Amino acid sequence: NAIAQDADGFLWLGTTRGVVRFDGARFTPWDAIYSTRLPDAEVLALSGSRNRMLWVGFARIAGGVTVAALRNGEIVTVSEGVAPHESTTAVIEDRAGDVWAVSNGALHRLHRGRWDVMRSRPLGDAVVLGVREDARGTLWVGTRDGLFRRRDADRFELVGPGIVRDASESAGGTLWITDPAHGARRHGAPPRSTNTDGRGMRLLHDARENLWVATTGQGVWRVRDTATITTPLVERLT
């Protein structure tokens, strides 16, 4: 369900049976590395932090908080405030050290040891699908009502309508968003920005300005976007 890299270069995978570490040669389950047991729940989200921790989002745990920090084999959870108790499908730590989590369609924030829920307008009651921080430190929130950008500590602004699960901005400043029918599209462009069908789920620009699109049912795409062509070249990995 999820993948993240820690400060030591290990890859961590979130699976239906917990967390697995990949060291470049072998896959090792968490409980074969550490004695501390993880909650008996599916792992839906993973991300690294600045202080060498790994944030984990779990499926629903009976009565438990579904976001935890893993460090040196220990598990740390925070229950103060309005903590996530439903399945957590996305979790990140921003540059300021705040943690953002998507749980049960709501955006939660862990700030100074306390959880709260973002309900300020215009984000309001929009069903949240994803959250991401870009290289410039801008926080993007994908919802069923559109893509939102964080303006300041508690305020968001609507950037574009539609169902948006993820967004990624190129080094040149071109913003791409997921599209439920055509994988991905440039922000502001017509829905059919590509000639390929697929339900876009995750986006990522690499160092060479390729856009990678993870889809449901149509695999992984590489989108080559240039200013000289109207429709970008889409290559599917077979």
How do residues 215-227 score in pLDDT, each as one tens digit? Answer: 998 899 999 866 5
CB 156 within 8 A of CB 148: yes
Average pLDDT along the chain:
90
pLDDT for residue 138 is more than 80 = yes
Specify the higher pLDDT residue, 62 or 29: 29
Buried b (16+ CB within 10 A) or exposed e, 171-205: eeebbbbbbeebbbbbbeeeeebbebebbbbbbeb
- Measure the CA–CA gap between 152 and 142, rounded to whole angstroms: 17
Tokens found for residue 152: 């300041």
Tell me the residue type at 96.
A
Tell me the chain's radius of gyration from C-alpha atoms: 18
150-159, 171-180, 193-202: range with lowest mean pLDDT = 193-202
pLDDT for residue 142 is more than 70 = yes
- Structure confidence at residue 143 (pLDDT): 95
CB 186 within 8 A of CB 231: no
CB 184 within 8 A of CB 203: yes
Tokens found for residue 66: 């579904």
Assign 129 to helix, strand or coil.
strand
pLDDT for residue 193 is more than 90 = no
- Measure the CA–CA gap between 21 and 24, rounded to whole angstroms: 9
